[in-house]
Homo-oligomer: A and B are copies of this chain.
Amino acid sequence: MRCLACKKAVEIKILYPFCRECFLKHYEERVQRLIRRFKLLVKGDRLLMAVSGGKDSLSCANLLSRLREIFNFQMEVVHIDVGISECTNFRTESVVRKFCEERDLKFHFVRLQDLLGVNGDLKTLFKKVRRPLCSTCGMLKRYALNKFAREKKFNKIATGHCADDITRFFFKNWFSQNFDWIAKFKPLTPSSHPKVVARIRPLFECLEAENLAYAKFNNIVIAGCSRCSYFLRKDKWNDLLQLVDERRPDFKLNIVRGLEKIEIKIKKSPRVLKECSSCGEPTDQEICAVCRIKARLQGLNS
């Protein structure tokens, strides 16, 4: 088989057969087109890239770091340590730190334990206050990321969410009828409140398999398997979408391209954000979920 673009020998076939150079060109151009089309990055932006240390966020960070001059924006990187020993790969911090040094990116390290003012393993603590592990961790990460970005004067946050993630979220949230969540699945989620930092998802149209290939071809050292991706592989939606993928490799791409085009409305009144009366962070409740967890954790010690 020959490369679709230049007819050299094929080195990779995910959606189309490509040689290494044409794959990288095609991948980078697709992301650049998305950035232009949705104005994800404009001159003068201060971007905080959230890096978990996996293939998706590191590929995204690598590509964005190369685009700094083209799109004229500043960029720094943050890694959030979730404080759950079972879920933490202890290589990650040094891998991401080294990645940043090599690309002249300022590296930040944020610990959820510091955010909550606790020391113990969060899995044990969540169990004590009867909170589900993964959704609590996810909620805390979103809170920490937004608060950190705003306080450090970033006007945009980038994450490595890709077409596989978005498609999985789409079906999960459709089934649990969280249509207000689905409505936000766009390459750019603008700020909905003065204290909410806009989000961009430059890999919205990229597949996990493509991100992995991009990381490999660029010799990017990834931190490797974390507990998060271990749970993901056991996710039923992941299995099902894998099955669909074998028949229709363009399935996820078509789902996300549809999401880019449509607006989903629901009849019920939309969430109105105000400021938490305890910490001042944006929330639709009187006291935000993080402060409620904090209070329960403090209750444990007293």
Does A243 sit within 8 A of B, measured CB to CB? Answer: yes
Does A244 sit within 8 A of B, measured CB to CB? Answer: yes
Given known contacts A243-B244, A244-B243, A248-B240, is B254 in contact with A261 (CB within 8 Å)?
no
Contact among B174, B239, B240, B244 with A258 in the assembled complex (CB-CB below 8 Å):
B174
**Complex contact A174–B254 (CB within 8 A):** yes
Which residues of B lie under 8 Å from residue A175 when comparing CB positions? 254, 258
**Complex contact B262–A179 (CB within 8 A):** yes
Within A261-275, the residues touching B (CB, 8 Å) are 261-267
Does A255 sit within 8 A of B, measured CB to CB? Answer: yes
A247 to B255, CA, bound (A): 20
Q: How many copies does the complex hold?
A: 2
Does A177 sit within 8 A of B, measured CB to CB? Answer: yes
Interface residues on A, range: 20 to 34
Which residues of B lie under 8 Å from residue A265 when comparing CB positions? 262-265
A164 to B265, CA, bound (A): 24
**Complex contact A244–B240 (CB within 8 A):** yes
Chain B proximity of A88: nearest CB distance (Å): 32
**Complex contact B254–A247 (CB within 8 A):** no
Chain B proximity of A27: nearest CB distance (Å): 22
Which residues of B lie under 8 Å from residue A258 when comparing CB positions? 174-175, 177, 179
Which residues of B lie under 8 Å from residue A261 when comparing CB positions? 177, 179, 266-267
Q: Scoring A residues 168 to 204 as 1 if CB is less than 8 Å from chain B, else 0, what string do you get?
A: 0000001101010000000000000000000000000
5 contacts between A and B (CB under 8 A): A177-B257, A177-B258, A179-B261, A243-B243, A262-B266
